[in-house]
Chains A and B, each alone.
Chain A
Amino acid sequence: MTDSAPARGIDPRAPRFGATTTSVLLLVATFLGLVEIGGSRFSAAFWLALVIAALFLWSVLSPRTAPWGVLFRKAVRPRLAPPAELEDPRPPRFAQGVGLFVVAVGLILHLAGVPLALPIATAMAFIAAFLNAAFGFCLGCQLYLLLQRAGLVGRAAPAA
Chain B
Amino acid sequence: MPFFSALIALAALIAVAVVAGVIWRARDGRRRRGSDAVDLTDLGVTVGRVALVQFSTETCARCPQVRRMLQGIASAHPGVEHVDVDLTHRPDLAARHRVLSTPTTFVISADAALVARFNGAPRRADVEAVLTELPALQEAS
A interface with B by C-beta (< 8 Å): 1, 15, 27, 30-31, 34-35, 37, 85, 87-88, 90-92, 94-95, 123, 126-127, 130-131, 134-135, 137-138, 141-142, 144-146, 148-149, 151, 154-159
Contact = CB atoms under 8 A, between A and B. Distances in A.
A135 B87 contact: no
Main secondary structure of the interface of A (DSSP, over half): helix
24 contacts: A30-B13, A34-B9, A34-B10, A35-B2, A88-B58, A88-B61, A92-B61, A126-B13, A127-B13, A127-B20, A130-B14, A131-B24, A134-B21, A141-B60, A144-B102, A146-B100, A148-B91, A148-B94, A149-B95, A149-B100, A155-B89, A156-B89, A158-B89, A159-B89
Nearest to B65: A85
Give the size category of B's interface with A. Answer: 35 or more
Interface of B: 1-3, 5-7, 9-10, 13-14, 16-18, 20-21, 24-25, 28, 57-62, 64-65, 68, 86-91, 94-95, 99-102
A100 B94 CA distance: 26
Contacts of A130: 14, 17, 21
